[in-house]
Amino acid sequence: MEEADVVVVSSKGQVVIPQSLRQKLRIGAKSKLLVYPFEDALIMKKLEIKNVENRLEAIYRRVVARRAKYGELSETEIDEIVQKHRHGKS
């Protein structure tokens, strides 16, 4: 079982996550954490946003290719491309 640490909240509402936990969870500068209340506690969960830029570029390439082939796309058609990409369909 992990030991608890005590942290102090700054006047700006900031807390410092202990170094041992940052290292263990690989939390660094610009890491994203989901923070939500649970009863009288706060729960933080590291968000894993892998290759967001690459995924967005892949979607963009699909939109551009389809637009080159069929002309302008509606918002609905673009949304369909995004949804297919999210679900791993071509």
Residue range 19-65, pLDDT digits in tens: 999 999 999 998 888 898 888 989 998 887 666 677 788 888 888 89
Q: How far apart are CA 51 and CA 54, in angstroms?
A: 5
Whole-number pLDDT of residue 11: 96
Q: Containing domain of residue 72, as a range?
A: 52-86
**Six-digit token string for 44:** 């933080």
In terms of pLDDT, which residue wins out, 29 or 3? 29
**Nearby residues of 25 by Cβ (< 8 Å), 6 or more positions away:** 46
Whole-number pLDDT of residue 83: 86
Shared domain check, 76 and 37: no
Q: How far apart are CA 50 and CA 54, in angstroms?
A: 9
CA proximity to 79, closest of 68, 67, 63, 64: 63
Shared domain check, 62 and 44: no
Shared domain check, 60 and 32: no
Shared domain check, 63 and 44: no
Total count of domains within the chain: 2
Whether the pTM exceeds 0.75: the reply is no
CB distance 85 to 78 below 8 Å: no
